[in-house]
Amino acid sequence: MSSSGGVVRRSLLDDLASSMLSLIADRNLAAGDPFESVRSLAERFKVAVPTIREALRRLEATGAVELRHGSGVYVGRHIGRLVLANPLAPTPSADRLVELLQARALIEPPVAALAAQNRTDAALERMDQHLAEAADLIESGDHARLAEVNMDFHRSLAQASGNATLAEVVESVTVVNVREQLEILHIHGDRQADLDEHRAILEAVRAADAELAERLTREHLDGVLTVINDRARPPLS
């Protein structure tokens, strides 16, 4: 049984989707570049417009392309990625959010250690910028934007590891509902402490101290996790 072996009859849509991806690759297009109009694509592949649109929707769902009304079809931000956050995922339950944080607490510390070993000047600068922006946002009180920038820090930390796959994984587990994570932060409350912890992690990475970076990242995420758990199951008395 199962799908192993045998000739997989590729559907027309499969062909269209992969052909368009090849087209993008052949032209060396990068994220954000304009691709080609729907009508032009339909003509190129000798299919009707609705058909090419179905294939485009499929690509769109994985972030490979982007359709902008009135403007055109563009290369998407997630072109070429192996691991993705489900763009259609519903708002996760409280349990799921705890799971998500547990996953992060498990994955990100060793990633931070790797980042401490492989970090480049460019990566350090990117993290510096995120922390500077975060400091500004604490001043201005824009908590929604702050939550996003804090996630950006975690992502750039993962990027600093030099492993794109790990960066994608971390991206995927951090992208889920910043709104919910904002609520968490709001409860956690101590935004300044968060910033300080991020700064400490960055310094460990800058100093190429893998062990310290790992420990600080673990403590940081475990701290958040503790707060969440306390809220979920408030003390009995």
Partner DNA sequence: GAATGAAAATGATCAGATCACTTGGTCATT
Partner DNA sequence: AATGACCAAGTGATCTGATCATTTTCATTC
Q: Which residues bind its own copies (CB under 8 A)?
A: 2, 4-5, 11, 13, 17-18, 21, 25, 50, 53-55, 57-62, 64, 69, 78, 80-90, 92, 96, 99-100, 102-103, 106-107, 110-111, 114, 144-145, 148, 163-166, 169, 172-173, 176
Radius of gyration of the chain (CA): 21
Binds DNA by CB under 7 A, chosen from 71, 192, 226, 229: 71
> Least CB distance from residue 107 to its own copies, whole Å?
6
Closest CA to 129 of 160, 95, 169: 160
72 DSSP β-pair partners: 68
Q: Which one-letter DSSP state was computed for residue 67? A: E
Exactly one of 17, 20, 24, 47 binds DNA (CB under 7 A); that residue is 47
CA dist 183 and 231 (Å) reads 12
For residue 204, which amino acid is it?
A: A
Q: Which range in 68-76, 94-102, 129-137, 144-152 contacts DNA by CB under 7 A?
A: 68-76
233 binds DNA (CB under 7 A): no
Burial class (CB within 10 angstroms; exposed 0-12, middle 13-18, buried 19+) of 54: middle
Q: Residue 133 corresponds to which tokens in the numbers above?
A: 């922006």
- Which of DNA, its own copies, none does residue 234 bind (CB under 5 to 8 Å by kind)? none
Under rule CB under 7 A, residue 51 binds DNA: yes
The two structure tokens encoding residue 233: 């199951």
> Residue 237 Cβ, how far from its own copies at the closest point, in Å?
28
